[in-house]
Amino acid sequence: MKKIAVIGECMIELNGTPFGTMEQTFGGDTLNTAIYLKRTAKLNTATDKLDVLYITAMGCDPLSKAMIERWQKEGIDTRHVLVDDMRTAGLYMIQVDENGERTFLYWRNQSAARYLLSHPKFTQVKHCLEHVDAIFVSGISLAILSSRDRSRLLTLLEQLRSQGIEVIFDSNYRPALWPHDELASVRACYLTMYQTTNLALVTFEDEQRIWGDQSAQQTLTRLHSLGVKTVIVKQGDKGCLLSTSESTSPFYVPASAVSNVVDTTSAGDSFNGGFLAHYLAGSSLITACEYGNHLAGIVIQHKGAIIPAHITHPTYS
């Protein structure tokens, strides 16, 4: 059975109208990816031999415990979720406009996940990571850490890649998580990360904001020049481009047709989950992209980062 470790943060989610109806659930880019990855893997005999480990830190309060129990019900391996008795999960609120576009408010400064690498039991996590097939991190996984812990994580990922473990990165850039006017710091961090990455799953808008890219082709060229072997550039309703370092030209995979966009909150995360389930099972990159697009198309027609499990049962093979 293949193992993938997903490193990041999950927060309490409030979704609704301020001073009106508000639904409480949970979400976070890497946790969303982990759940959609596991759901996809469980629903397909070609992908079901896949162990998904979630690596984070949570509190010891009832809400943190309830969230972890929900992850376990999804089939996520939570044995390496560290417990922080001084902190709890962060909180975010989503507001969605009439076009399904969303804005976020965050309360996460004392989130336990921000102190993951400083946890006294992180050494046990490092040992676990030496025995997986792949590791997935995002730009948010990096951004929430202190500069010292961020450097430690980048060094660790470089060491693990040198041992043959595949490193997968979604750039997922959130300016509010970085110090004001610190684009140079973001670029330096991402430059190091890309030099450690085997597979990049990036959104063109993020790469454009950080690097000033004028086209998805420019993004592909830049990332390959940094040593990234396989690059997928997500372009929302335009689909995605895929390329490998051996490709003579990129391949375009169109998005699934969607008639009613309700909430785009987890579009990229669900793409990642659907893509990775098929990619890790040995499917072609085109097939993996097609399923990623298909799953994202389902998710954006419903509210919230993580939609009910029965809705994500594929009508696609």
Query: What pLDDT is attached to residue 23?
Result: 80
Is 226 a member of any domain? yes
Given the residues 29, 77, 206, 269, the one annotated as active site = 269
- Largest Cα separation within the chain, whole Å, is 54
CATH number at residue 202: 3.40.1190.20
Is 147 a member of any domain? yes
Is 181 tagged catalytic?
A: no
pTM score: 0.93
Is 98 a member of any domain? no
**Domains: count for the chain:** 1
Length of the chain: 317
* Element spanning 2, H or E: strand 2-7
Place of tokens 């812990």: 149
Nearest to 236 by CA among 277, 279, 202, 212: 202
Is 16 a member of any domain? no
Distance, CA of 1 to CA of 114 (rounded, Å): 30
* Residue 32 token pair: 């969303």
Is 101 a member of any domain? no
Is 21 a member of any domain? no
Distance, CA of 106 to CA of 14 (rounded, Å): 10
Instruction: Give the residue ranges of the chain where pLDDT is below 70.
Output: 44-48, 96-102, 181, 312-317
Instruction: Output phi, psi for 193, to 5 deg.
Output: -65, -45
Task: Give the distance from CA 139 to its chain's centroid.
Answer: 8
Is 273 a member of any domain? yes
Domain assignment of residue 54, given as a range: 2-9+28-82+113-311
- pLDDT tens digits, residue range 116-153? 999 999 999 999 999 999 999 999 999 999 999 999 99
Is 106 a member of any domain? no
- pLDDT tens digits, residue range 86-111? 999 999 887 766 665 667 788 888 89
Burial classification of residue 51, based on how many CB atoms lie within 10 Å of its CB (0-12 exposed, 13-18 middle, 19 or more buried): middle
Query: What pLDDT is attached to residue 102?
Result: 65
